[in-house]
Amino acid sequence: MTMGDDGTAVRALAQACYDTMVAGDEAGMREVFDARAPIVGNFEGSLLWQDLDAFVAEARELVGRHGKEESRIERIEIVGDTALAVVAGRYAGLWFRDQLAMVKCAGVWRIAAKTFHVAPSA
């Protein structure tokens, strides 16, 4: 794959992360995330550290409670077989900025970890 192909794949994976998350699409979420991926960030004054199963359950519970569904990919950086994508979007009625750490294995990109920050506004 050329760097352009990787960029396209990483961008598509970042967008798929947001789309499957707000849709509560369990199968889609499990396709974009590695099964061992942690989801970590501060939420309401406490550190929230979830495994993928807890995150999928949360996303399913919150379907339809996000407000206007909108997102934007703010940055992509690719270094060899690793990548970082920063995605901002509305989730659970709040504006989040997610940092998605990705790894390419056997030609396929997957999200290895997600950290998030609750942003004051879009």
* pLDDT, tens only, 28-39: 999 999 999 999
Answer positive or negative: Cα dihedral of 112, 30, 52, 55. positive
Confidence band of 1 (pLDDT split at 50, 70, 90): very low
pLDDT at 68: 87
Question: What is 78-120 written as a DSSP string?
Answer: EETTEEEEEEEEEETTEEEEEEEEEEEETTEEEEEEEEEEEES
Kindly state the DSSP code that residue 76 receives in the 8-state scheme: E
C-alpha to C-alpha distance for 80 and 122, rounded to whole angstroms: 31
Domain boundaries, the chain: 3-119
Residue with tokens 């990705």: 102
The CATH code that applies to domain 3-119 is 3.10.450.50
Q: What are residue 98's DSSP bridge partners?
A: 87, 116
Integer CA distances (angstroms), 54 to 48, 49, 51, in order:
11, 9, 6
CA distance 90 to 96: 6
Residue matched to tokens 């359950």: 57
Q: What is the pLDDT of residues 45-95, one digit of tens each?
A: 999 999 999 999 999 999 988 888 899 999 999 999 999 999 999 999 899
